Amino acid sequence: MPTPSKGPRLGGSAAHERLMLANLATALFEHKAITTTEHRAKRVQPLAEKLVSKAKRGDLHARRTVMQTIRRKDVVAELFEELAPKFAGREGGYTRITKLPPRKGDNAPMALIELVLEPVKAKKSASKKAAPKKAAPKAEPPAAEEPVVEAEPVVEADAVVETEVAAEPGEAK
């Protein structure tokens, strides 16, 4: 048996694992969210991300490549025509895994894997955050002069401590 590339094998053979992951991806795109075990969710996430990236290209070759994994034409059509335009502004992270309580029968760790359909708003705030970071290094050279000024009061504080220490032995006499 070949060594698995990512994590333990989910099925009995490599072919069964591929079919299981393809079925999980099909269900994910059809229902927008599925509840499964954590291991299956973590294994289907990279496959789903790659399929969405191919669907965003939208050309015939990408559609045929996705059809090799997802065999249902209606799900592929929904992926290319409805879901891919919603992910146009997103660079990645098309899916989200949320941990759920363990399954009642066998206590297996469960998870909810879902498509992230919310629009991306981080572009504007990211550009605003990038500008202050560039301005902060410019403010550092004047800050280098301030520690010299701060060093003098520290010396005075030491002198005050020394005078207090000198005064204490005088009081003790």
Q: What are the domain boundaries of the chain?
A: 14-119, 121-173
Confidence (pLDDT) at 41: 96
Band the pLDDT of 11: cuts 50, 70, 90: confident
pLDDT band at 136 (very low <50, low <70, confident <90, very high): low
pLDDT tens for each residue of 88-99: 989 999 999 999
User: What single-letter amino acid sits at 31?
Assistant: H
Per-residue pLDDT, 9 = 74
Q: What integer pLDDT is reported at residue 141 of this predicted model?
A: 53
**Residues 33-45, mean pLDDT to the nearest whole number:** 96
List Cβ neighbours of 141 (8 Å cut-off, separation of 6 or more).
Answer: none
Q: Domain spanning 14-119: which CATH class is it, in words?
A: alpha beta
**Contact predicate 11/21, CB 8 Å:** no
Contact at 8 Å (CB) between 81 and 34?
A: no
The residue with greater pLDDT, 50 or 138, is 50
Of 118, 75, 121, 80, nearest in space to 96 by CA? 118
pLDDT reading at 154 higher than 60:
no
The two tokens of residue 97 are 């895994």
